[in-house]
Amino acid sequence: MSQTHCGTRARLHVRETLPGPVRGRRDRVADRLAALVAERTLVGYDVVPWDKRIPCDGSGDPDTRDRYLAFSEWADERGVGLAPFFETRECYSWETGERGTWVVMPALCLSVHEDGELTAVYPHTDGDTYNSVWTGIGSLEEGHTGEELPEDRDPLVV
């Protein structure tokens, strides 16, 4: 698939296995992104699966690891945090039979790219303010301040 690097694009990162309620949220987010493309607010979007967790030792899926590292760099440069959405935990590996430190990825994450450069990651925190995936959608909508959320949206989950 060819990609253009002109304009604003969104990427919805999704865990491959999701419980029913989160699948519904994923579908609503994807529907809204499709509407933003139809409205010409976005050039395009794609949905990318990622692992539930990645080991902190640098092994594991390199694509998910590289995305996480890019997101961490973005957050550091802006003085915002990815925790508690990207959480580091001690986990047991069924594959190795050992415990290790892993980064647990959020079920849904939205990254925004302007002319090919990462410009935003949702969810993230800015001090005591939680910026959800829906906050990110709101920031893409014309004239939206990003501060209001639809009543049926849980800002801490999506």
| Domain edges within the chain | 8-140
Q: What is the mean pLDDT of residues 115-142?
A: 93
- Rounded to whole angstroms, what are the CA distances from 47 to 96, 101, 110, 118? 30, 27, 9, 16
Q: What confidence tier does 142 reach under pLDDT thresholds 50, 70, 90?
A: low
Q: What is the mean pLDDT of residues 134-157?
A: 56
Q: What is the mean pLDDT of residues 106-117?
A: 94
Here the tokens at position 78 are 């802006």
% the chain with pLDDT above 70: 85
Alpha helices in the chain (DSSP H): 20-38, 62-78, 133-140
- Rounded to whole angstroms, what are the CA distances from 155 to 92, 94, 133? 29, 32, 8
Return the pLDDT at 57: 84
Q: What is the mean pLDDT of residues 30-39?
A: 95
Return the pLDDT at 146: 33
- pLDDT tens digits along 35-69: 999 999 999 999 999 989 888 887 878 899 999 99
Residue 22 CB partners (closer than 8 Å, separation 6+): 15, 107, 108, 157
Q: Is pLDDT at 99 greater than 50 in this prediction?
A: yes
User: Would you say 115 and 7 are in contact if contact means Cβ atoms under 8 Å apart?
Assistant: yes
Report CA torsion sign: 123, 51, 4, 116. Answer: positive
Mean model confidence pLDDT for the chain: 84
User: Would you say 82 and 72 are in contact if contact means Cβ atoms under 8 Å apart?
Assistant: yes
Return the pLDDT at 150: 40
Q: What is the mean pLDDT of residues 6-13?
A: 92
Q: Is pLDDT at 132 greater than 90 in this prediction?
A: yes
- In terms of average pLDDT, the best of 77-91, 95-109, 140-154 is 77-91
